[in-house]
Structures are given as structure tokens and as C-alpha cells.
């Protein structure tokens, strides 16, 4: 007789299929070196080390798959059993990752492959919050990490300021974002059927009336977009909290 699973498995989908046009080096930023390791390997090693994460599904451009397999093997990321092909947009790439998920009862964690400084304790906190949420019949359909913005934010049309937004009601949203599989899969399916696109996973859940909650984020959890961001990440790594 099989024992009943105590809690759902967690599957991490890591989109890393972007071409990095703003990075400007001609290479792909996810494979740029950060303290001797590819940027993409940093979050993958965190997910590899978290016991509740059972599988990692990276999403790579088709031309990068061979290089990716070699790098994953070199760094012993053994939770990778499938690699999803990248799509035209980030949303298409994540959808391709969702299509490879076998366990329809799982929790899905989606993290940008170019956010290398995600902290293990924050990932574990998000996972535990979602598990607790499911035990309470699902108050939240998704949980996203965020931080209050440090700067004043203005709404602009052209070059004209329309209004200054109230900073105490604003959050800068990060990844990983975490959802029950059926919630995020159905939101993605509807959005693709309707041709609706967003760069944020939770925005799709919100569009279809899902409730998204804020979880703990970190100002260190930066996204590598430009060469300057890589220098900032290097500096942060040299000065741990």
C-alpha cells in the first residue's frame, strides 16, 4: 500500500531563453560569468539544494540546449530531467515549460534565470507559505515576492508627467513566483488562446480573477539586464549580508 503524499511536490521552471539584446555583448547574459560560474547556474544551485523542489525545468533557446546540457552536467544539477525549448516571448517559453510538467497536483515555482542572487531562505519561505495557503483552502492563487520601491514613481505620457503615484501602495515585483499548477496552467492557456501577453506570470492569474498575495522579496534579488547589473551583482556577492 502506497503512503499518501503529505504535501505537493514543487517543480521549478526557469526561463532562460532570452537573447539579451540590452546586454550588448553579443552573447547570452544567462551564460555570462559571475564569480567564475554562469549566471544561470546560481539560481539552479539554490533550487538543487532545496529538498522540497523535486524537479527543475530550464527553458533554453534551441541553439543553446547543447551548451546548457554540458553546463548542467558540469555543475551536477541532477534535478534537471527535461529542458523546454524557448518561445518567441518569455510567456511562450514559460508555457513550453508548463507543458512538460507531469505532476498536475504540483506547486509551480517560476524564476527568471538571470536573477542569480535569489536567497535560499526566501525561496523556502515562499514554498512554505504556499503549502500553508493550500492547507487553508487556498486564500491565495499565487504568491509573489516584492519590495517597496525606493524611488518616487510617476505615471508619464510621452514626456509629460500625468501624476505621481503613492509609493506606500506600490511594490516592485520579483521572481520566483509560485502557484498551484492548475491555477497557473489554466491562466496561461486562456491568455495564449486570447493572444494576451504579459511579462509577469502573476499578471495572467490576476487577469482571470485570481488572488495574488505578496511574499518576502529582497533588494539583492536583482535582474541582470545590462553589463552594469553584472558589476552590481559581483559587488553584492563580495559583500554578503
Q: What is the pLDDT of residues 220-229, one digit of tens each?
A: 999 999 999 9
Give domain 10-238's CATH architecture.
Answer: Alpha-Beta Complex (3.90)
Q: Would strands 107-110 and 142-147 be described as parallel, antiparallel, or unpaired?
A: unpaired
Cα–Cα distance measured from residue 179 to residue 211, given in angstroms and rounded to the nearest whole number:
11
Rounded to two decimals, the pTM is 0.93
Could you read off the pLDDT of 73-117 as tens digits, one per residue?
Answer: 999 999 999 999 999 999 999 999 999 999 999 999 999 999 999
**Separation between Cα atoms, residue 238 and residue 67, nearest integer Å:** 28
Whole-number Å distance between alpha carbons of 183 and 130: 13
Amino acid at each position: 500500500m502506497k503512503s499518501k503524499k503529505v504535501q505537493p511536490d514543487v517543480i521549478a521552471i526557469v526561463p532562460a531563453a532570452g537573447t539579451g539584446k540590452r546586454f550588448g555583448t553579443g552573447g547570452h547574459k544567462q551564460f555570462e560569468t559571475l564569480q567564475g560560474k554562469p549566471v544561470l547556474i546560481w539560481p539552479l544551485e539554490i533550487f538543487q539544494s532545496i529538498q522540497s523542489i523535486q524537479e527543475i525545468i530550464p527553458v533554453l533557446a534551441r541553439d543553446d540546449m547543447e551548451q546548457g546540457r554540458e553546463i548542467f552536467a558540469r555543475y551536477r544539477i541532477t534535478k534537471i530531467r527535461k529542458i523546454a525549448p524557448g518561445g518567441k516571448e518569455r510567456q511562450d517559453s514559460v508555457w513550453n515549460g508548463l507543458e512538460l510538467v507531469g505532476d498536475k497536483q504540483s506547486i509551480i515555482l517560476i524564476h527568471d534565470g538571470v536573477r542569480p542572487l535569489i536567497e535560499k531562505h526566501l525561496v523556502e519561505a515562499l514554498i512554505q507559505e504556499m503549502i500553508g495557503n493550500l492547507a487553508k483552502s487556498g486564500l491565495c492563487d499565487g504568491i509573489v515576492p516584492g519590495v517597496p520601491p525606493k524611488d518616487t514613481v510617476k505615471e508619464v505620457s510621452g514626456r509629460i508627467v500625468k501624476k505621481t503615484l503613492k509609493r506606500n501602495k506600490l511594490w516592485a515585483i520579483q521572481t520566483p513566483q509560485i502557484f498551484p499548477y492548475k491555477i497557473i496552467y489554466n491562466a496561461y492557456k486562456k491568455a495564449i488562446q486570447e493572444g494576451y501577453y504579459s511579462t509577469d506570470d502573476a499578471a495572467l492569474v490576476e487577469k482571470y480573477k485570481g488572488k495574488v498575495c505578496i511574499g518576502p522579496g529582497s533588494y539583492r534579488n536583482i535582474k541582470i539586464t545590462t553589463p552594469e547589473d553584472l558589476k552590481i551583482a559581483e559587488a553584492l556577492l563580495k559583500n554578503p549580508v
